[in-house]
Structure 1
């Protein structure tokens, strides 16, 4: 099943020089590969398209994603992957060089990336005493960086909010409210960000999709103009909006967070240029044979 938005897909969109894939819900769900995704990526490369990956997931390092994709039969390099954590690091280096000491409310992978990039990053869990009562933390932070933390608890939320109220910048790796797994949807980083926002009274700087920074960084690194790129994602609020803001054509696949009925109701920046049931239909739209 392929549905095209009226007049929106041009000939150049069907033979893109660069294709940017989301990961969760597009290439895999949890530890299970989406059927046909590896074959689609291989066919694109065989035809000469550059393939890159852009994920809002902040829990894993880029090297971790390389290993994860390899286990699914997809060979890639860390330089071909942009995560919301790596994009956050790039943003801090480029625009906020004064930020050095950060509290990290996120998974170990996010902490590892921050520390490897030279930041004095402390886990939120280690930033508060066992009997924290909401008082001053006693240690100044330049920023609080919030991502997806499956171990989040009240003390970590309280610590993050306290540091932000004390003057630390509030930076969110992404604002996804939920993400797909093989058994259904789970709360995403945006759910944690919303809690910290409510507790601190401060709006965050959001780095990941739907902000266009991740896509723009990939375009610049690849040397490909937006008009010759294509984004494939499963989340209208993140992937489709980011693609629209970056000037990139987009295909929404129904292997992630939305179904056909929900896709038909999309409008504005959330509306993709095409909707496809999955990788096989994307391949058919792009005129690619799948082995």
Structure 2
């Protein structure tokens, strides 16, 4: 049997023998689901980021959450043990305000829909904030806010219907929370779009402007985007030409990762942002399978099913300690190499009880079966 794949392998295959904190000079960190979930820090992440800083890595914070001002975000981070200055924070409200000012000119009238961070960013960009559709806004800027409800959405609908440009800070359908995913700005944007029939201009991630601004502020030469969302963080990194680290502490789960489209496939993978401090193993093709650490993944049963099995020692892939995700890395390469141009949901089986237990632990219970 020949080695796979026939196409060039995805970049996850390369790994990173050294800790990313020593290879990359700046981490461009998403916040919700990466540094914190709700009001609380992801366990262990503040200490990990402090260690990354000690290793010489600088931190920038790039968030699609438009609800708060950079000062509020920096204060929250500092209280969680991640010291931050407002200048270290780029919000999607700032990106939207810059786009609107560029399109419509300083002083243009804008109706904010969202948390206080939206209006603050508009004022800082020299725009005129108005309170209602009757004020004849030139645009509305819609961003996440926990108190957004029918009155604000109604004003937005009326304003768009009477000619205002609809600008959205992001289209994230969900936000992470301690109770699981909750409706994000994209869900609210869909309400306005559905009623008006007008497509909004979306300015947040994955548009590369936010990452580019953070690179400009930090002077990064080798940036690494760290995020929990495939369609914003990982795609945004690819569009900005930066490397990416996906963490599983937010909204993306292993099944979603396996089904990722090419633009959504990360370069590195870890359970959380502590992955900045450890090496990442390569994934190598051998004998019709993909090997990572002590796990092997192959395409079985006519190409429709993936099989995960334990594998013996191999010096090419045993140089980095197993962080519990080696099997998932192998599965990703096996599946993505079979579908190089599209994202396709995966069916997975375990070759033995140990493999089935691992798959079950990753939340693949419905497809993890012992063969």
Q: Which TM-score band (shorter chain)?
A: 0.7 to 0.9
Give the unaligned 5+ runs of structure 2: 1-10, 281-319, 321-371
Structure 1 length-normalised TM: 0.86
Corresponding residue number in structure 1 for 2:235: 241
Corresponding residue number in structure 2 for 1:31: 39
Task: Please point out which of 141, 155, 166 is paired with 1:145.
Answer: 141
Contact conserved, 1:30 with 1:181, CA < 8 A, in 2?
Answer: yes
Contact conserved, 2:19 with 2:277, CA < 8 A, in 1?
Answer: no
Structure 2 length-normalised TM: 0.68
The structure with more radius of gyration: 2
Larger displacement relative to structure 2 (7-16 or 185-194): 7-16
Per-residue deviation, 1:158: 2.4
Listed as ranges, the matches of 1:7-26 within 5 Å are 7=14, 15-26=23-34
Listed as ranges, the matches of 1:148-187 within 5 Å are 148-187=144-183
Say whether 1:101 aligns with 2:109.
yes
Query: In 1, Cα distance between the equivalents of 2:25 and 2:15?
Result: 18
How much is the aligned-residue C-alpha RMSD, in angstroms? 2.3
- Kindly provide the CA deviation profile for residues 157-176 of structure 1, in whole angstroms up to 9, marking residues without a partner as x: 22212211211111101110
Corresponding residue number in structure 1 for 2:216: 220
Query: In 1, Cα distance between the equivalents of 2:36 and 2:182?
Result: 15
Contact conserved, 1:104 with 1:122, CA < 8 A, in 2?
Answer: yes
| 1:211 to 1:10, Cα distance in 2 relative to 1, 3 A | farther
Listed as ranges, the matches of 1:23-102 within 5 Å are 23-98=31-106, 100-102=108-110
Contact conserved, 1:35 with 1:279, CA < 8 A, in 2?
Answer: no
Per-residue deviation, 1:277: 0.9
Per-residue deviation, 1:12: 10
Corresponding residue number in structure 1 for 2:258: 264
| 1:12 to 1:44, Cα distance in 2 relative to 1, 3 A | closer
- Kindly provide the CA deviation profile for residues 34-62 of structure 1, in whole angstroms up to 9, marking residues without a partner as x: 12211222122212222100000001110
Contact conserved, 1:104 with 1:144, CA < 8 A, in 2?
Answer: yes
- Which of the pair has the greater relative contact order for Cα pairs under 8 Å at 6+ separation? 1
Query: In 2, Cα distance between the equivalents of 1:198 and 1:218?
Result: 33
